[in-house]
Amino acid sequence: MLIGMLGLDQHEVGAVAVARLLRDAGMEVIYLGRFNLPPGIVKTAGDENGDVIGLSCHSWEYLHYIDELLALLRQQGLSIPVVVGGSVLTAGDERLLRDKGVAATFGPTSSVEDIPAAIRAVVMDARRP
Amino acid sequence: MSRRSTRSGIPLKPVYRPEDVAALGYDEALGDPGVFPYTRGRRPPDHAAAAWIQRELSGEGAPSQSNAQLKYLIETGATGLDVIGDTPTMAYLDPDHPAAAHAVGTQGVSLCCLDDYRELYHDLPLDGLTVSHSLPPLFGIAGFYLAARERGIDPARLRGSIVQPPFYCEDCGYATHMPFPLRLRMTADSIEFASREMPRFHAFLEDTYYISDGGLDVVEEMALGFVEIRYVVRELLRRGLLVDSFAPRIAILVNCGMDFFEEIAKIRATRRLYARMMREEFGARDPRSLAVNIASHTSGLSLTAQQPVNNIVRGTAQALALALAGVQGIEISGFDEAFRTPSPESHLVGLRTQQVIQLETNVSSVTDPLGGSYYVEALTAEMERRIQEMVARVEDMGDPAALCDRGWFRTLFQDAMERHARQVRDGTKPQVGVNVHRMPAHEDTLLRALAERKIEPSRERVERIRAFKRSRDSRRLRATLEQVSRAARDTTQNLMPSIIAATEVGATMGEVAWVLRAAYGVPGDPFGMMESPL
């Protein structure tokens, strides 16, 4: 799994905590850190043969980058699911993201214990023919 | 963690008694307010003196929009201002940088050239209030200085502060993509310049807020703050400056979390530690060099997206702790902090909270009202011991600059973030609405719509800056940027005069930063997307 943040968003608490949580749950996490733009994320996801891309958001930049990211994945024929989490996600944002094709969203009220299982489910879903 | 300890893990007794403070001599450990070692306050008690400076962190959109915000705050009763740049500004990127596109003005004000500072401060009584700046130091000082001077205000009369973050900025949200020697030089050059030209301005604000709000405990927060202060002070002394020429203008902006007495003890211990350090280690003699100015921003990390109205209660408890600790300035994080930079409504609530505490509760009529409390004094002494011990431990590991480059601090910050997340998850850090007293989402509606309102990126700013860049005299611009480049390559020169000259002919912060990075051997644009301005 790849975990990263978009644009100039620098509040890393969530990204770091979730990366560790998923490692503890036995997943292989490539931590992309801060300052990523969609082309770089898609390239790394392809090169590393990632199962899922996780974006952590503490700014609203994701709202503007998500279309570009999903379009790039489609263009390159990569069927890697994208999940988005962060305290700035409102219920409305979560609906919007899922409508755009984001596989799962984790807002401030989602339970941390559920995140590894939810991500596993997303990966299994994507592998289904 | 059991409830019988502070949040930083200091074990607590059920009750404190005289024997817990028996070792503390009054004159040696406390002293009256305004008397060494300043534990009880930096100034002598004075009923006529103004209360703490009441301000709220602000900055949003284009400079003109922030100017309106600042005027609104003053009308609402703010007695000081605090301006923060948006994420591109804090990263030394101009708004027309492609990576900045969706972040211009959404988390602070967008500032990149002299016109921006003119607009930001337009019609504000710059010599009649204090302006704190969370902005890149060289450029924030140059902008404030030039904007005041051309309005006929003597820069020597300017008051306020600017954050100097050379150690921790790369790891804690203000990444500059500049190497440590350049970051240290920008700090030292701007302090040296301001201590001469703007002697009333606190050009060295040590900001322990932003480094700790990922999850550091109070001991780690202050220990890292002292490590940075000590390093910069040594650098200024190495340059031949006299300690009393700059030390009166060092200030600290601390965090304030929810452990009420621990935060109060932290502030009192910091005043004592600082006074002893400046006198005994650095030989300061001027009382103003010994009595440190402390302001505080209440913790954003303690605020929750769940039940946002509870954040008003948290801000009130935190501001009360700060009033009792006797700080010089308070900013309360907005109740909408989990979602956005402060709305006008949360600015209003923040200021009204401070006004109610100051005017209605009578808590500030007596200086250091908790002085002599067995508990508070015992906790203050223990806090001092632990901070001092951690500073020594870090400095014993070698040159702090090398630790910084090796990522030692970054690991500490990441461990703290992970620790905080784990403590919230397992309930050892109770957070009402998050891990206890939860509420179904459909009932959690009070203030929610307000807190969730978004700020659109200022797209028109991008066009405006592009047009501005095309309109400049390119020959003069190039000449001044070359001057900056030469100054950067000659470490005996101060960077400020050449940056001021470049700013006056229209150079932007992103262009100057490009030149500075290149002079220090790193890519001018960290994203590799902008061309050299030279």
Is the pLDDT assigned to residue B2 strictly greater than 70? no
pLDDT computed for residue B49 by the predictor: 73
**pLDDT tens, position by position, B243-252:** 999 999 999 9
- What pLDDT is stored for residue B75 in this prediction? 98
Token pair 């988390």 in the structure block, residue: B107
* Strand partners of residue A11: none
pLDDT at B321 over 90: yes
pLDDT at B3: 61
**How far apart are the C-alpha atoms of A38 and A27, rounded to whole Å?**
23
> Which residues from B are below 8 Å from A22, CB to CB?
none
What is the C-alpha to C-alpha distance for residues B90 and B111, in angstroms, rounded to an integer? 9
The first and second tokens of residue A13, run together, are 């608490």
The tokens of B31 are what? 């002293």
Q: Could A17 and B454 be called an inter-chain contact, meaning their C-beta atoms sit closer than 8 Å?
A: no
Torsion of CA B137, B160, B250, B38, to 10 degrees: -160
In chain B, which residue's Cα lies nearest the Cα of A33?
Answer: B171
- At which residue do the structure tokens 């990632």 appear? A50
pLDDT at position B85 over 80:
yes
**Taking CB atoms and an 8 Å limit, are B103 and A8 in contact across chains?**
yes
For range B417-427, the mean pLDDT: 92
Query: Would the pLDDT of A102 be above 50?
Result: yes
The pLDDT value recorded for residue B166 is 97
User: Smallest CA–CA separation between A103 and chain B, in Å?
Assistant: 21
Residue B66 above 80 pLDDT? yes
C-alpha distances in Å from residue A68, one per residue of A3, A61, A63, A74, B42: 17, 12, 10, 10, 54
Architecture category of domain A2-127 in CATH: 3-Layer(aba) Sandwich (3.40)
Mean pLDDT, range B13-31, rounded to an integer = 97
Distance CA B198, CA B144 (A): 10
Question: Does the distance separating the beta carbons of A112 and B454 come in below 8 Å?
Answer: no
At which residue do the structure tokens 């790891």 appear? B171
- Check residue B96 and report its DSSP letter: T
d(CA B464, CA A20): 43
The predicted pLDDT at position A109 comes to 83
3-state secondary structure of A6: strand
* Alpha-carbon distance values, B529 to A78, B72, B438, B532 (Å): 26, 38, 46, 10
Report d(CA B245, CA B237) in Å as an integer.
10
| Pairing, β B250-256 against β B201-207 | parallel
CA distance B339 to chain A (A): 5
Can you state the percent helix, strand and coil of chain A, rounding each to 5?
Answer: 45, 20, 35
CA nearest neighbour of B94 among B466, B499, B534 = B466
Distance CA B456, CA B450 (A): 15
On whether the CB atoms of residues A63 and B100 are closer than 8 A, the answer is no
**B425 has pLDDT over 70:** yes
Domains of chain B and CATH, by start: 18-48+122-144+153-425 (3.20.20.240), 473-534 (no CATH)
The percentage of residues in chain B with a pLDDT greater than 70, rounded to a whole number, is: 99
> Which of B417, B434, B458 is most worth mutating to test chain A (most A CB atoms within 10 A of its CB)?
B417
Query: How do residues B54-63 score in pLDDT, each as one tens digit?
Result: 999 999 999 9
Cβ neighbour number for residue B95 with a 10 Å cutoff:
29
Q: How far is B400 from chain A (nearest CA, A)?
A: 23
Q: What is the mean pLDDT of chain B?
A: 96
ipTM score = 0.94
How do the domains of chain A map onto residue ranges?
A: 2-127
pLDDT score recorded for residue A108: 87
Q: pLDDT tens digits for B134-160? A: 999 999 999 999 999 999 999 999 999
Task: Write the pLDDT tens digit of every residue in B205-237.
Answer: 999 999 999 999 999 999 999 999 999 999 999
Name the residue of chain A whose CA is nearest to B425's CA: A112
Question: Which of B300, B172, B191, B196 minimizes the C-alpha distance to B251?
Answer: B191
Taking CB atoms and an 8 Å cutoff, what residues of chain B touch A10? 87, 173-175
Among A10-19, B279-288, B427-436, B486-495, the minimum mean pLDDT is found in: A10-19
The pLDDT of residue B1: 43
Residue B129 contacts residue B490 (beta carbons within 8 Å): no
Instruction: Extract the tokens encoding A79.
Output: 């069927």
Tokens 């710059």, residue?
Answer: B126
Question: Is the pLDDT score of B393 beyond 50?
Answer: yes
Residue A8: which of B100, B414, B425 has the nearest Cβ? B100
DSSP string, B331-386: EPPPTTTTTSSPPHHHHHHHHHHHHHHHHHS-TTSSSSTTTT-HHHHHHHHHHHHH
Chain B residues with CB-CB distance to A under 8 A?
87-88, 91, 93, 99-103, 106-107, 173-175, 214-215, 301, 304-306, 338-340, 414, 417-418, 420-422, 425, 441, 452, 454-455, 457, 526-527
Rg of chain B taking only CA atoms, in angstroms: 23
Substitution target in A5, A13, A24 with the highest count of B β-carbons within 10 Å is: A13
pLDDT in tens, A19-34: 999 999 999 999 999 9
Strand runs labelled E in B46-172 = 53-54, 57-58, 80-84, 130-134, 159-163
Read off the pLDDT of residues B338-378 as tens digits, 9 standing for 90 and up: 999 999 999 999 999 999 999 999 999 999 999 999 999 99
